[in-house]
Homo-oligomer: A and B are copies of this chain.
Amino acid sequence: MNMRLTHLDDAGNARMVDVTGKQPTVREAVATGEVRCSEHVMSALREGTVPKGDVLAVARIAGIAAAKKTPELLPLAHTIGVHGAVVDLELAEDRVVITATVRTADRTGVEMEAMTAVSVAALAVVDMVKGVDRSAEITGVKVVAKSGGRSGDWRRPE
C-alpha cells in the first residue's frame, strides 16, 4: 500500500497537487452523514408539533452552497467547477440522515465537495435545533460511492 500523502512534498511541506495533466471528465461522488437529536426533538419535527417550516430547506441550501465553497475551506483543494449538487434530508427515528451527490465535468474528483456539503448541511441542522437540544451530534460523515476519473468507480463496502 502506498503511504505517500499526495498533498505533501518530499520534505513534508503542504502543496496543491498539480492536476494540469488530468483530463476534464464527468465525475460524481456521494457522501452521507447524520445528525443525532433527542427523540423528543425528532418526533416533534416529524409530527409537526414544532413549526418545522424552512428547517430542511435551510440545511439543503447550506449544503449546496458549501459544496461550492470547498476550495475556500480546504487549503489544498483545487478550484473546481461544481456542475450539479443534490442534498437530501430524511427524518429517521432519532436522527436526520443527510445524503449529498455532487457532479462535475472537471479535472478532479468531488469526494471532498460531497463530504463538505453533508458536513455543512449537518451544521445547519444543529444550528437550528440547538436552542431546544444541546445534545445534537454529527456522526458518520463519509463517502459512500464515487464514479469517473482515473481511479474509476468505487462503492464503500457494507
Contacts and interface: CB of A to CB of B under 8 A. Distances in A.
B51 A10 contact: yes
A83 B134 contact: no
Given A14-B58, A15-B85, A137-B141, A105 B73 contact: no
A79 B141 CA distance: 24
Interface residues of A, number: 96
A65 B74 CA distance: 9
Interface string A84-117: 1111100000000000000111110001100110
Contacts of A149: none
Contacts of A81: 78-81, 106-107
Nearest to A60: B14
